[in-house]
Structure 1
Amino acid sequence: MSLPKEDKNHTYADYLTWPENERWEIIDGVSYMQSAPKWEHQSISGELYRQISNYLIDKPCKVFAAPFDLCLVEDNEKDDDITNIVQPDLVIVCDETKLRKTGYFGVPTLIIEISSPSTARQDRVVKFNRYERACVKEYWIVEPDGKYINVFTLQEDNRYGRPEAYTEEDKVQLSVFTDFIVDLKPVFDGI
């Protein structure tokens, strides 16, 4: 097993050689090690997963929870050459033909990141820009400490518009599934 090098532009081929018991992401060729999430993070992720998964029963889309590799392919890159491999907390994919190897190779319909002080910059800047550039239709940033969510929706100009903000008392109607509403009370309950 090899380890990432700071001065190298990393690819999916490199990623596959790194220790399996460690969580890594690569964004624009730069490697980032992921730390273990807190219990509050896991509680939020679990409840969001439950609500979304229940909604998607008998529908063509699937929801996956981290660890799950999302390989954002650019310009018909070959799998081994991909330089953007992330592990969103939750990801909804609607094209099963792009599920292979260790995850999904393409642009998902929705991504949810549950932020923490150690990941805030990544979630709000680095990943935000990467997901917008990839044209991910809807991107949520969940803030456990403040018990609120910012929802970014891709506009006609392929840019995220002003975020919709929701608190623990709200219900969120997804733009990508207009007949589905997420109840935030149980998402933040008990944390």
Structure 2
Amino acid sequence: MTRPTKSGSPVKRTRLSTEVARLFPRQGHWTEAAYLGLPETNRIVELSEGRLVIPDLPTDPHQYTVGELFAALRDFVKKHGSGHVRVAPMRVRLWPGKFREPDIVFLSREHEDRRGEEFWGVPDLVVEVLSPRTQRSSGTERTDRLEKFDEYCRAGIREYWMVDTRERTIEVYALREGAYRLSGAWRLGQVAQSEVLPGFSLNVSDIVEA
């Protein structure tokens, strides 16, 4: 039997939750305006097909890799004045009604007009980091490898980096003639390279914990 608590009975809490839920659209009925009107949060919240998508909280290996790769990319971009780099949570509008929050995004100086306060337009390069727990969770790896792969390609993002912390690999896909082609795949001890940012390279061992 569930006991009431100081904050009220389970029944009252359920009613309150239901009343709060009624303030928001049902899944499948979310608009851009409703999505952009959500209260600020440190959680990643995406909009896809009228539905809110809230990924699992990141793991420690995930955060380590994101931090190291972001630092390397940021330093390179600042040194060469190539553009801007951001780390999630950061909204990216792929097309009307489709918002994603890649782990890392790069926007070139040539596309400065796509940089907004609330969200960015289509960036030049995105990074998604897969970690063991998120790979086991419901559909997260499928989302990065299939859904987002297709979406980023359709949106015209020129380069997609996929980092696998379990396999300790980096895969880089470049947009060529409207399709993503594997530019390179690297393992521990090997050096990954970018086509979009000539001269940017890093050793897989430097961003993935052994």
Q: Same fold (TM over 0.5)?
A: yes
Q: Distance in 2 between matches of 1:92 and 1:125?
A: 21
Q: Which residue is equivalent to 2:155?
A: 134
Superposed counterparts of 1:50-129, under 5 Å: 50-58=71-79, 59-73=81-95, 82-94=96-108, 95-105=111-121, 107-115=122-130, 116-117=134-135, 118=137, 119-129=140-150
Report the identity percentage. 27
Unaligned runs of 5+ in 2: 1-19
Q: Distance in 2 between matches of 1:72 and 1:45?
A: 22
Structure 2 letter corresponding to 1:102: E
Structure 1 letter corresponding to 2:105: V
Aligned length: 179
Distance 1:164 1:13, change over 3 A: same
Structure 2 letter corresponding to 1:180: F
TM-score with structure 1 length normalisation? 0.85
Does the residue aligned with 2:198 lie in a helix, a strand or coil?
coil
Q: Which residue is equivalent to 2:68?
A: 47
CA contact (8 A) 2:170 2:185 kept: yes
CA contact (8 A) 2:170 2:204 kept: no
Root-mean-square deviation (CA), in Å?
A: 1.8
Q: Which residue is equivalent to 1:15?
A: 35
Q: Which residue is equivalent to 1:25?
A: 46
Encode CA deviations 1:12-34: one digit per residue, 9 max, x unaligned.
Answer: 21112334334311124332112
**Cα offset for 1:99?**
1.6
Runs of 4+ in 1 over 3 A off after TM superposition: 1-4
Q: Distance in 2 between matches of 1:28 and 1:7?
A: 6
Match of 1:144 among 146, 165, 170: 165
CA contact (8 A) 1:168 1:187 kept: no
Q: Distance in 1 between matches of 2:25 and 2:82?
A: 36
Does the residue aligned with 1:34 lie in a helix, a strand or coil?
coil
Does the residue aligned with 2:34 lie in a helix, a strand or coil?
helix
Structure 2 letter corresponding to 1:111: V
Unaligned runs of 5+ in 1: 74-81
Q: Distance in 2 between matches of 1:85 and 1:97?
A: 18
Q: Distance in 2 between matches of 1:60 and 1:151?
A: 19
Q: Distance in 2 between matches of 1:70 and 1:100?
A: 10
Q: Distance in 2 between matches of 1:163 and 1:175?
A: 8
Greater helix content: 2
More deviation, 51-60/129-138: 51-60
Encode CA deviations 1:65-89: one digit per residue, 9 max, x unaligned.
Answer: 000111123xxxxxxxx31111000
